[in-house]
Structure 1
């Protein structure tokens, strides 16, 4: 009887050990070290890093939604922080929001209009968080004047895709706009830059920074410069922007480089244009409107961008991401757009976070 009890105990202990080993293996294998593009549906992806969190901002159904996550490749908790009002200049066509943390508040820059199509009413507005929490309530700071005569608000001009950046202690805004207000959205778009008095007020008058003039940014039915985003490395400043037609496979990225860190960014002569610096291929169509973040451990640079789901004209797009490197002259090297379904190593440090937290 004693021998039988001992035998049963040994069997139980071995079974328990094996169960423990099996659970441990399952736990490790559940954390994938790779991911594949696309990461999710959508367009105009804006991803920014604040502390250890990644904040993703996008629009859907005339609302602005924010995600906060420890991961680049996975959305976290979601909250709708703003819905378009029933009346007013911004009641419809909410496009391409960006969220920036400035002096203790989150600021959202977005485009909207009264109606569309045709999309001739688009202007740019600003929201401000009431606290440091990205999920706090937001107040509407109003519409920005993006024309040539700030003393006459009625002369405001079409503007989308605004981004902001700090340089030499000053705050600047860059956006895509028309030279003058017209009655057709089949109108060339240019990049404008302007200093800001504060995060919700432009200072002075707009400056024409870039027009679609080079052979690689022209040639289709409508010449566009839009979706400008600022990328910095050390004391170098770059503006990566989209050109050609957003609804075609030819959509691609150009670059402006500030010639000297002490140069005035409001002087167009202080910028050098190069391109294309990132474009589609036989498997990835029409890459555009990007944002840039560091990996969780700060050792890698990543580009987040959208691409078309097919070669057919239209705006059916998804969001992708991939790492990029730097050339010997200090300029970014975005490489080739990676095909859908091809395994990509997760951003450096992301696997370790998941293994530690189990979330």
Structure 2
């Protein structure tokens, strides 16, 4: 709006004074003439000390990566990779995804993009994800790289397929470091059969996009509670304050309400590449709680509160029975503690709609 037009309105009469004031305030940043710069108004922050689960109406295979004071969130979108950047993970519903990578229209990693994970290794960002060409039997693990400071900006470069000597069906890849060595863990089939029994494999890494040698199987369904679907998948590593290493995984078919979290513990001074050094807990560590509207909790990740004083788990679950493996799975977070023997204690899934204290130090 030009200055002359504003003066004309000002002379139009007292009935328009308040309308004029509103326009003057809105365009206070005008640089003159017809050029106008609108300064966006940031919504008032939510000062509520609590939040409720689920964080989003939909969000299968959720993942959170914490870097300094910032959290990056993602989940399975199927056709692309996207991130949410926030300083308040409990407030995800107020944020929007930024698409960072779209697959080619055809080819071996053009379809069914599942369970992405963002990691910062050295001074670069990496996203690990499973994808195929439209045929599930061809699912494999892939990785892209970004040298930008902020992973929602910059250019993502496709680095390739993570392939052990035995190249088989693979999903749910993750990375961790132990005693100076990087490892890759994932869920896969022993052979080429469809469907196959899903087992958890591990391999050493020579760099963030290359596996060394062959894979080693460290977990398969063995206990009765794991046998409904014959699935071990979604492996994630966490260390307790003393540095003891645990691997939390999902068991049973996601199409059942028996989908649960299990735990492997690496023996003291154990070798992650030695299956005998992993001890499996005989019962689930997080399971369905029907009265809490939590069916099939699984596919977890871990993060700290902003002030570093609290440990939190993120996982997905269905809010009703028999909803299966689709987009009804929604992301939830809750605080967890450590038992006297050093193992993590996740308790039970918190009931949906129950007020939960926000992570300590979270921006309000």
Report the TM-score when normalising by structure 1: 0.84
* Structure 2 residue 213 is the aligned partner of structure 1 residue 204: yes
Counterpart in the other structure of 1:54? 71
Counterpart in the other structure of 2:82? 65
Instruction: Give the 3-state SS of the residue equivalent to 1:235 in structure 2.
Output: coil
Counterpart in the other structure of 2:296? 286
| Residue 133 of structure 1: how far off its partner (Å) | 2.1
Provide the C-alpha distance between the structure 1 equivalents of 2:273 and 2:78, rounded to a whole number of angstroms. 36
Contact 1:146 1:158 in 2 (8 A): no
More strand by share: 1
| Residue 308 of structure 1: how far off its partner (Å) | 1.3
Match of 2:358 among 342, 346, 357: 346
Counterpart in the other structure of 2:314? 304
Contact 1:248 1:286 in 2 (8 A): yes
Instruction: Give the 3-state SS of the residue equivalent to 2:200 in structure 1.
Output: strand
Match of 1:188 among 197, 211, 221: 197
Provide the C-alpha distance between the structure 1 equivalents of 2:208 and 2:45, rounded to a whole number of angstroms. 46
* Structure 2 residue 256 is the aligned partner of structure 1 residue 248: yes
| Residue 313 of structure 1: how far off its partner (Å) | 4.3
| Residue 131 of structure 1: how far off its partner (Å) | 2.3
Counterpart in the other structure of 1:171? 182
Provide the C-alpha distance between the structure 2 equivalents of 1:89 and 1:181, rounded to a whole number of angstroms. 16
Provide the C-alpha distance between the structure 2 equivalents of 1:226 and 1:91, rounded to a whole number of angstroms. 22
Counterpart in the other structure of 2:123? 104
| Residue 60 of structure 1: how far off its partner (Å) | 1.7
Deviation per CA, 1:283-323: give whole Å up to 9, x if none.
31000000000001111110100001321242221110100
CA spacing shift, 1:30–1:64, aligned 2, 3 Å: closer
Runs of 5+ consecutive residues of structure 2 not aligned to the other structure? 1-42
| Residue 120 of structure 1: how far off its partner (Å) | 1.3
CA spacing shift, 1:270–1:340, aligned 2, 3 Å: same
* Structure 2 residue 56 is the aligned partner of structure 1 residue 37: no
Output aligned runs, 1:74-153, within 5 Å: 74-75=91-92, 76=95, 78-116=97-135, 119-135=136-152, 136-148=154-166
Provide the C-alpha distance between the structure 1 equivalents of 2:340 and 2:252, rounded to a whole number of angstroms. 28
Deviation per CA, 1:141-191: give whole Å up to 9, x if none.
01111452xxxxxxx210000000000000001000000112x2x221000
| Residue 77 of structure 1: how far off its partner (Å) | 5.5
After the TM superposition, which of the residue ranges 313-322 and 200-209 deviates more from structure 2? 313-322
| Residue 57 of structure 1: how far off its partner (Å) | 2.0
| Residue 30 of structure 1: how far off its partner (Å) | 5.0
Contact 1:191 1:210 in 2 (8 A): yes
Provide the C-alpha distance between the structure 2 equivalents of 1:319 and 1:28, rounded to a whole number of angstroms. 25
Instruction: Give the 3-state SS of the residue equivalent to 1:60 in structure 2.
Output: coil
RMSD: 1.6
| Residue 248 of structure 1: how far off its partner (Å) | 1.2
Instruction: Give the 3-state SS of the residue equivalent to 1:120 in structure 2.
Output: helix
Deviation per CA, 1:212-265: give whole Å up to 9, x if none.
0112211x2x200000011111220000000011111110010000111x3211
Contact 1:69 1:77 in 2 (8 A): no
Contact 2:63 2:116 in 1 (8 A): yes
Contact 1:244 1:252 in 2 (8 A): yes
| Residue 106 of structure 1: how far off its partner (Å) | 0.6
Provide the C-alpha distance between the structure 2 equivalents of 1:280 and 1:264, rounded to a whole number of angstroms. 32
